[in-house]
Amino acid sequence: MAGRLEGRSALVTGAGSGIGLATARRLAADGARVFTVDLKGEVDRLADVTAPGINAELVAAAVARHGGLDILVPCAGVSAFHPLEGHDDDYFDHVMAVNLTAVFRLIRDAVPALKQSPQGRIVTIGSTMARFGDAGLVAYGASKHAVLGMTRSVACELGPFGITANCLQPGAIETPMTEPAFTAMPEFRTYFEKKAALGRLGQPEDVADVIAFLCSDDARFMTGQGFFVDGGAMTRQ
Ligand SMILES: NC(=O)c1ccc[n+]([C@@H]2O[C@H](COP(=O)([O-])OP(=O)(O)OC[C@H]3O[C@@H](n4cnc5c(N)ncnc54)[C@H](O)[C@@H]3O)[C@@H](O)[C@H]2O)c1
């Protein structure tokens, strides 16, 4: 039986690790031809998504490789705890550059190709941090709120072209991004396990499977939404 994304071409950034890697694998398992990008890892293109002009180049490379572009998943992201006092400008700017500006540029540069697709799909990666705040995560929280807001406006602007745009908002997922904190502070891990109604941390595949659904025809009438994939963490006060 043909996969549900057979014949689709996808571009995934941050695909060298964690959620992006699991997403690239899941989209490919569903039949998509995937062009993968990251700073590191086994990807089609090693690139820094914040480099000037790079996003247009990446879109062009994906289109050249696979003859079009139907699915865009800008998953590259950075996060670290930085107290507000002494928070340096450069780190704030870096978080915004990776988590927000590069996502904006990639979407903007992909619009002409996505318009050619009969079922264009954009899935951005927000966070439960787009609903609440936390100490030490000023830059990260700002970037994830902004990505959700941007995705809603993208959905409105591209809807007339049949392109959907949704924001996937993961809870605490075990990836190389979170592993150092969970290892250094076991109480942090326990806190998130207890917070989730399902009583565990998420795995990258828990998120990737929902991203693949949002990219499929089954999700054709869903757009402009943020979706928590958090094991029920946000349902608990
Ligand atoms: N892990 C979680 O608990 C969690 C929760 C909510 C949201 N997220 C979001 O999910 C996305 C993926 O995170 P993850 O947990 O898989 O982390 P990860 O660190 O495993 O993967 C992120 C990838 O992005 C890449 N990347 C970072 N900066 C880049 C740049 N400038 N250019 C190209 N690639 C770059 C990294 O090299 C890395 O491979 C991020 O946007 C993150 O904010 C993660």
Domain boundaries along the sequence of the chain:
9-235
Q: Is 14 in the pocket of ligand 1 (CB under 6 A)?
A: yes
Per annotation, catalytic residue among 35, 77, 140, 212: 140
Phi/psi of residue 165, nearest 5 degrees: -140, 120
CATH of domain 9-235: 3.40.50.720
CA distances from 66 to 15, 16, 218 (A): 17, 20, 23
Summarize the confidence of residues 104-124 as an average pLDDT. 98
The phi, psi pair for 117, rounded to 5°, reads: -85, 140
The helix (run of H) or strand (run of E) holding residue 63 is helix 54-66
Judged against a pLDDT cut of 80, whether residue 1 lies above it is answered with: no
Residue 19 Cβ < 6 Å to ligand 1: yes
28 lines ligand 1 (CB under 6 A): no
- What residue owns the CA closest to ligand 1's atom 7? 127
Q: Counting atoms of ligand 1 from 1, which one is nearest the CA of 41?
A: 39
Q: Give residues with Cβ within 8 angstroms of 200, minimum separation 6.
A: 193, 231
Q: How far apart are the C-alpha atoms of 207 and 222, rounded to whole Å?
A: 17
Q: Is the pLDDT of residue 16 over 80?
A: yes
pLDDT tens for each residue of 169-224: 999 999 999 999 999 999 999 999 999 999 999 999 999 999 999 999 999 999 99
Say how many Å lie between the CA of residue 98 and the centre of ligand 1.
Answer: 9
- 191 catalytic residue (yes or no): no
Instruction: Report yes or no on whether pTM surpasses 0.85.
Output: yes
pLDDT confidence bin for 228, thresholds 50/70/90: very high
218 forms beta bridges with none
Please answer whether residues 123 and 148 qualify as being in contact, where contact means their C-beta atoms are separated by less than 8 angstroms: no
Question: Which are the contacts of 179, defined by CB distance < 8 A and separation ≥ 6?
Answer: none
- Tens-place pLDDT, residues 24-79: 999 999 999 999 999 999 999 999 999 999 999 999 999 999 999 999 999 999 99
DSSP letter (8 states) at residue 166: E
The per-residue pLDDT of the chain, averaged, comes to 97
* CA-CA-CA-CA dihedral for 126, 119, 54, 209, to nearest 10: 40
Question: Atom 20 (ligand 1): residue with closest C-alpha?
Answer: 18
Q: How far apart are CA 208 and CA 75, in angstroms?
A: 11
Any atom of ligand 1 within 6 Å of the Cβ of 77: yes
In the reported structure, the alpha carbon of residue 1 is separated from the centroid of ligand 1 by a whole-number distance in angstroms of: 33
Compute the distance from residue 133 Cα to the ligand 1 centre, in Å. Answer: 19
CA 202 to ligand 1 center in whole angstroms = 15
HEC per residue, 56-109: HHHHHHHHHHHCCCCEEEECCCCCCCCCCCCCCHHHHHHHHHHHHHHHHHHHHH
State the closest ligand 1 atom to the C-alpha of 172, by its place in the atom list counted from 1: 3
